[in-house]
Amino acid sequence: MLEASHRYFHRAADLLDLAPKVREVLLTPNRVIKVEIVDETDDGKLMHYTGFRVQHNSARGPCKGGLRYHPAMDEDHATALANLMTWKTAIVDVPFGGAKGGINCDPNEMSRFEIERVTRRFVDRCKEVIGPTIDIPAPDVNTNADVMAWIMDEYSRHYGFSPGIVTGKPLHLFGSDGREEATGRGVMYALEEALRDRGRELSGSTVALQGFGNVGSHAARLIAERGGKIVAVADHKGGVSNEKGLDVPALVTWAAEHRTVAGFAGGDAFSGSEIIAWPADVLIPAALEDAIDGTNADQVRAQIVVEAANAPTTPEADTILARKGVLIVPDILANAGGVTVSYFEWAQNIQQFRWELDRVNAELEKSMRRAYAGVRELAKEKSTDLRTAAFTLAIQRVGRAALSRRSLRENIDLG
Ligand code: GLU
């Protein structure tokens, strides 16, 4: 996975003719943390997990990024995803660097108390090297506001009341209005911009969606509210389709109860893997990495792919989709709405001043459209695709900050 994110980086770095020395400065993580978590399950068995936190780059501010609980979590994943956060925060121009972390546990197999214990142990092991001006975790796959509340509580036991240590907290515990749906809302704005590039609009466009977690479900709801038609949704247990458009609020209720979209009565069932080849105008991968790879990219029928998940398209698939003329809105732009509102939450915590929802959403919309426009402009100027342009913009911003904070012997031109 790390190799894939490096390939995208080098494609943009080549365009900028970036010296090998600068590439190494920008690609090397600041700090890689690995901790062992050994505790007891509720019924007295041993649980032993490994936790990771990779702080990739802090040239533009404290490291920022989610915490993921998933059996596949390892150093390679954390490093690749931390890398992406560095570029993502630069693209939406929030004053943060990039980080990511997680624990290789499966919360679906654990009790609430076990998840809490594992979370507190993780914080205890990392507390000296995270903090509101050092590294600020947030929700990611399989973590949520409850987990953030435990992190805040555990950290605050040592350092005093510190709401700014995490974002994505519960509203009643200094979270921000609009944070939970922010990534999905940002995906919707990114999709609107992409459709505009193709001379179309949301109303009447058909969308196939892979993944119905926090990001996918909010994106689906907001797209449907604006007249888009969600014609198929799949998750790891199966899929459901309706060519007239699924009733998204009813699907949300079903999925909350059954923890899957499979079995929903408002459409026809299909095997989840077919979603990639679904006949729709737009495909939104909102699940895990590598969903579109060399084996299925050729089957994609959508004209636009909006990467709501992180790293859902392998470089091989990226090349195939480009050849087919598919417009890809890359993850580091498309799903940047989450970290944007995380910044608003952190700013509210630091200022001890609450923003109203209208302000959060208005600022988010402005920020997403500005970021998209900047990437679109650079893509035109350099005659390249949106992903390479997004990486180029990010490398310029992070590179300038990094080089101003240290001296290299020669002058480096970042374009
Ligand atoms: N986990 C989210 C992401 O991948 C949000 C990170 C954050 O808000 O810090 O962008």
pLDDT digits (tens, 9 = 90+) for 234-270: 999 999 999 999 999 999 999 999 999 999 999 999 9
Q: Is the pLDDT of residue 412 over 90?
A: no
- CATH assignment of 28-162, among 2.70.70.10, 3.40.50.10860, 3.40.50.150, 3.10.20.90: 3.40.50.10860
% of the chain residues with pLDDT over 70: 100
Averaged over 37-46, what is the pLDDT?
97
Averaged over 198-226, what is the pLDDT?
97
Listed in order, the ranges of the chain carrying CATH 3.40.50.720 are 182-334
CB of 176 shorter than 6 A to ligand 1: no
CB of 388 shorter than 6 A to ligand 1: no
Measured in Å, residue 319 CA sits from the centre of ligand 1 at 26
Q: Give whole-number Cα distances, 296 to 32, 277, 280, 308, 321, in Å.
A: 34, 8, 16, 18, 10
Measured in Å, residue 81 CA sits from the centre of ligand 1 at 10
Averaged over 71-85, what is the pLDDT?
98
| Residues comprising the chain, all counted | 415
CB of 184 shorter than 6 A to ligand 1: no
Q: Is the pLDDT of residue 62 over 90?
A: yes
Global confidence as pTM: 0.97
CB of 148 shorter than 6 A to ligand 1: no
Listed in order, the ranges of the chain carrying CATH 3.40.50.10860 are 28-162
Q: What single-letter DSSP state applies at residue 277?
A: G
Averaged over 79-84, what is the pLDDT?
98
Measured in Å, residue 185 CA sits from the centre of ligand 1 at 14
Parallel, antiparallel or unpaired: strands 282-285 and 46-57 = unpaired
- 366 is annotated as an active-site residue: no
Q: Is the pLDDT of residue 197 over 80?
A: yes
Give the pLDDT score at 278. Answer: 98
Give the pLDDT score at 407. Answer: 75
Ligand 1 atom with minimal separation from the 81 CA: 4
Written as six digits, the tokens of 209 are 């969606």
Of the residues 1, 68, 141, 183, which should be mutated to test ligand 1's pocket, given the most ligand atoms within 8 Å of the CB?
Answer: 183
CATH numeric code, 182-334: 3.40.50.720
CB of 65 shorter than 6 A to ligand 1: yes
Give the pLDDT score at 414. Answer: 82
Averaged over 379-388, what is the pLDDT?
98
Measured in Å, residue 338 CA sits from the centre of ligand 1 at 6
Parallel, antiparallel or unpaired: strands 46-57 and 238-241 = unpaired
pLDDT band at 182 (very low <50, low <70, confident <90, very high): very high
Taking all residues of the chain, what is their mean pLDDT, rounded to a whole number? 97
Q: Is the pLDDT of residue 410 over 80?
A: no
Closest among 320, 342, 366 to 85, alpha carbons compared: 342
% of the chain residues with pLDDT over 90: 96
Find the catalytic residue in 64, 100, 169, 229.
100
CB of 339 shorter than 6 A to ligand 1: yes
Measured in Å, residue 67 CA sits from the centre of ligand 1 at 8
CB of 86 shorter than 6 A to ligand 1: no
Give the pLDDT score at 415. Answer: 77
